[in-house]
Structures are given as C-alpha cells and as structure tokens.
C-alpha cells in the first residue's frame, strides 16, 4: 500500500536524491534544484451530492505554481497546509473538536492528496496547476456538523490561502435539512505577499 | 430528532478509507451490511468507518481480512 511520501530517484549526473511525494524526476538537462513559487490557491467546482446516506459537497482546490531554477542550494518545493476545524470529528481520526487540525500533516498518504504529492510534473522552468479533489461528507443518520477549511500553500517568498465553511444538518427522518458550502475571503487578502 | 443510534453512545472507528474512493466505500458498506453491522461513514480527506462499540472487533476483523480491499488505501484501527 503506497503510504510512503518519499522515494529515491537517480537524477542525471548526480548521486541519488530524494524527491518529495513520489513526483517523477525531471528528465534531461533539468536543473539540479528548483524553486517552486505558488501564485494562487482557489476553491472551485463546488457541487452538492447525496449518495445513499452520505451527503456533502465535492470541490477542487486548484494551486497555481511556477518553477524556476535555483542558483544553488537544495530544491525548495512549496508547502501545503490543509487545516480543518469541525464541531463533530469522526471517530478514530485523532482530530480535536473545535480546533484546527492539519489534515495533510496527519494523512499525507491519503489518495485525496495525490494531486499534490504524486501528480505534479514540476516542470522546471515552467508552470502547472495542482488540483486536489475532496468530497467532505457526513451521514444523514448522525447529528449536524460544521466543517471549516483553511488551506495554505507557502513558498519561500509568498503564501496563498483559500477558506470555506460547510454546514451539514439532517432532518431527523433520513433526509437533509441543511447542506451549504460557502467560500470565504482569503485570510491573507487579495494580492497576498510574504 | 430520531436517529438510529443513541446520541449518548460514542461510535467507534473501525477503519479509515480515502474520501475519494467510492469503490472502497461500497465494498465496506456491503461487507459490514452482510454481517449485520451498522456503519456510519463520514469525513473529509479521509472517511472514518464508524460502528457501534459492540461491533468494533468484528468490523476490524472483516475489513482487515478482506481481499477486496487489499488494493485500496485503508487503515484498520489497532486492537
């Protein structure tokens, strides 16, 4: 089962190096190290769903990234922080109720994060969009739940943020009373800087 | 509000699956349903497979030994 975030790859003309997240190594003439610079984080494609007793929303987090060769030093990838806060955490996830929990730090191997850990090609120089798909949901058989998202991508010089709030409430008869997902303003404001 | 569980009863986590893995969720629901175990699935990023505490040991055994789930991302809770 692929739970390890690191794999070793041989880069041209160099000793074996470790690349974060299982991302394929650059090929042919790529620089030895590369800086990853985030230029935006957005929550998109929000869609409500009900699948049997599970109901909630699907959404994408799209992270715009650019890469440039570093003059020296080690690779400087951007960092993902996926904070969630809920009044009713599921059992056995190690999540503290009503407190911010970094889900990426807790579950880096979850396939939900493949768009960040495995699917980036990291063109250097170049740019790409990393897409992380999440379908937060709850059971209509369980009490109401509020879930907040506070997502950051941090580069060496700049950080970007996206926030949202989901409210799920059953009607007590096996149906849905409330099912909302609101995108909130960035905690860093427009044109967020370092 | 009428709920199919006692609000005073804590549910127990039997396993975690990926939130994006609909196939794993369907397998879990079918396996536990066939054993007469009620499960409550929810989460974000990862989904918790929650059961009544009285069913926890059996649910762990069923999910942990399932060949259908061996190629899926799943973490079964420790005994």
Position with higher pLDDT, A6 vs A128: A128
Contact A134 B44 (CB under 8 A): yes
Position with higher pLDDT, A34 vs A32: A34
In this prediction, residue A94 carries a pLDDT of 87
In this prediction, residue A193 carries a pLDDT of 42
Is CATH 1.25.40 correct for B12-76?
no
pLDDT band at A189 (very low <50, low <70, confident <90, very high): confident
Rounded Cα distance between A86 and A116, Å, is 23
> Percent helix, strand and coil across chain B, each rounded to 5?
30, 30, 40
pLDDT band at B78 (very low <50, low <70, confident <90, very high): confident
For A90, the closest of B2, B3, B50 (CB atoms) is B50
Instruction: State whether residue B41 sits within 8 Å of chain A by CB.
Output: yes
pLDDT band at A25 (very low <50, low <70, confident <90, very high): very low
Which of A148, A157, A155 minimizes the C-alpha distance to A187? A148
Position with higher pLDDT, A20 vs A146: A146
- Residue A8 pLDDT greater than 90, yes or no: no
Q: What is the pLDDT of residues A34-53, one digit of tens each?
A: 899 999 999 999 999 999 99
Percentage of chain B lying above the pLDDT 70 cut: 89
Percentage of chain A lying above the pLDDT 70 cut: 81
Contact B3 A141 (CB under 8 A): yes
Contact B3 A142 (CB under 8 A): yes
Instruction: State whether residue A66 sits within 8 Å of chain B by CB.
Output: no
Instruction: State whether residue A172 sits within 8 Å of chain B by CB.
Output: yes
Instruction: State whether residue A94 sits within 8 Å of chain B by CB.
Output: no
Chain A residue nearest residue B16, CA to CA: A93
Q: Which helix (H) or strand (E) holds A167?
A: strand A159-170
Residues with Cβ < 8 Å from B71, sequence gap 6 or more? none
- Residue A24 pLDDT greater than 50, yes or no: no
Q: What is the pLDDT of residues A68-105, one digit of tens each?
A: 988 777 778 999 999 999 999 998 888 999 999 999 99
In this prediction, residue A93 carries a pLDDT of 80
For A92, the closest of B3, B12, B44 (CB atoms) is B12
Q: What is the pLDDT of residues A51-62, one digit of tens each?
A: 999 999 999 999
Strands A79-86 and A137-139: unpaired
Mean residue pLDDT of chain A comes to 84
- Residue B8 pLDDT greater than 70, yes or no: no
For chain B, what are the domain ranges? 12-76
Chain A hits for B57, CB-CB cut-off 8 Å, are none
Q: What is the pLDDT of residues A162-185, one digit of tens each?
A: 999 999 999 999 999 999 999 999
Taking one residue from A and the other from B, the number of pairs with CB-CB distance under 8 angstroms is: 101
Q: What is the pTM of this model?
A: 0.83
Rounded Cα distance between A183 and A46, Å, is 9
HEC assignment per residue over A103-161: HHHHCCCCHHHHHHHCCCCCCCCEEEEEEEEECCEEECCCCCEEEEEEEEEECCCCEEE
């Amino acid at each position: 089962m692929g739970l390890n975030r690191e794999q070793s790859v041989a880069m041209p003309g160099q000793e074996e190096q470790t690349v974060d997240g299982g991302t394929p190594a650059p090929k042919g003439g790529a620089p030895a190290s590369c800086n990853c610079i985030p230029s935006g984080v957005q929550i998109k494609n929000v869609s409500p769903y009900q699948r049997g007793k599970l109901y909630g929303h699907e959404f994408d987090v799209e992270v715009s990234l650019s890469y440039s060769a570093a003059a020296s030093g080690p690779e400087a990838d951007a960092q993902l922080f996926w904070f969630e806060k809920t009044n009713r955490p599921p059992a056995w996830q190690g999540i503290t109720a009503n407190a911010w929990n970094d889900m990426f730090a807790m579950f880096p191997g979850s396939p939900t994060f493949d768009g960040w850990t495995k699917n980036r090609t990291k063109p250097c120089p170049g740019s790409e969009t990393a897409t992380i798909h999440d379908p937060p949901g709850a059971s209509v058989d369980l009490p109401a739940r509020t879930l907040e998202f506070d997502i950051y991508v941090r580069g060496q010089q700049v950080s970007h943020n996206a926030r949202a709030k989901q409210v799920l409430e059953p009607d007590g008869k096996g149906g849905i009373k409330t099912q909302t997902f609101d995108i909130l303003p960035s905690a860093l404001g427009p044109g967020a800087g370092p | 509000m009428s709920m199919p569980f006692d609000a005073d009863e804590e549910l127990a986590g039997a396993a975690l699956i990926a939130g994006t893995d609909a196939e794993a969720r369907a397998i879990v629901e079918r396996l536990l349903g066939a054993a007469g175990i009620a499960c409550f699935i929810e989460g974000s990023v990862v989904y918790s497979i929650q059961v009544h505490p009285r069913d926890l040991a059996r649910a762990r055994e069923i999910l942990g030994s399932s060949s259908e789930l061996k190629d899926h991302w799943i973490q079964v809770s420790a005994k």
